[in-house]
Homo-oligomer: A and B are copies of this chain.
């Protein structure tokens, strides 16, 4: 594995899950792999789980870590070729990216979408520019359209808990109080499809995702119908793809115990942070159905598997 930007960089998602499961059991078994190696973390947006889990993952492999918090005010990057940089941007990516990468062995980057200009956001230019210009492996810590480290942890969690060969997995839209990116939902859909899950997506009319990511997965507009016989319910809010960035707060889409009762005793999943009693009701999160803490815990071992595969490939 060279870069880890989308599921397309992963030859075999389930092999990566198996590696993650081994690392969960023996986290310190590969400490020489990262010796003299440094992971650079570049945050154009804030991060908590992702930052801590990949930092710990790097430490477990014997790597050192350098994090850079880029406030977009203080270090605005120019991405256009030929522009006259006499305004806000202070450095061009043609300098910034090769320079930063010369100090690191692997670079991981987080940068959210603006949610104003769909065409711009969906080019995912910043992370793609890093991959093109860095000369070292790039890891996506959540880009404008994708969050593959989250999806890999989600897949691992399902593999740990599934009771049938091909569980029914439902990705359900849920209410929120402000517009959120589509990245978690996009990635979840493409990873589930890559892993040949039985995926159903449910959302209100107009709150659609790009078919580029949802592929042939059935889209259901009645949440209750979608939940029938489900083994896993993955809850997440996202803003509209077609009416780009539009958000809706429809309290009737909150996930409750009553809705969970329609499922086949399903496990409840969410990437966190979750607003209780807005996205998911308290009694669901407090019940044994919820596996959200396990998902977050698995972020560490899946990040470690990604780092391990990249380190092995660059030996």
Q: Which residues does A use to contact B, with CB under 8 Å?
A: 27-28, 31, 36, 38, 40, 46, 48-49, 51-53, 55-56, 59-60, 64, 66, 68, 74-75, 78, 81-87, 89-92, 94-96, 98-100, 102-104, 177, 272-278, 282, 285-286, 292-293, 296-297, 300
Contact = CB atoms under 8 A, between A and B. Distances in A.
25 contacts: A38-B56, A46-B74, A52-B66, A52-B100, A52-B103, A52-B104, A53-B103, A55-B66, A55-B103, A56-B104, A78-B276, A85-B276, A85-B277, A90-B273, A91-B274, A94-B286, A95-B274, A95-B296, A96-B273, A98-B293, A98-B296, A99-B293, A102-B293, A102-B296, A102-B297
Given A46-B74, A293-B98, A275 B86 contact: yes
Nearest to A60: B36
A241 B94 CA distance: 32
A56 B89 CA distance: 26
A304 to B, nearest CB: 11
B82 A277 contact: yes
A96 B49 CA distance: 9
Q: How many copies does the complex hold?
A: 3
A282 B80 CA distance: 12
Contacts of A40: 52
Interface core residue of A66, A89, A102 (most chain B CB under 10 Å): A102
Interface core residue of A27, A273, A285 (most chain B CB under 10 Å): A273
Contact of A99 (B85, B276, B297): B297
B46 A36 contact: no
Contacts of A277: 82-86
Nearest to A283: B82
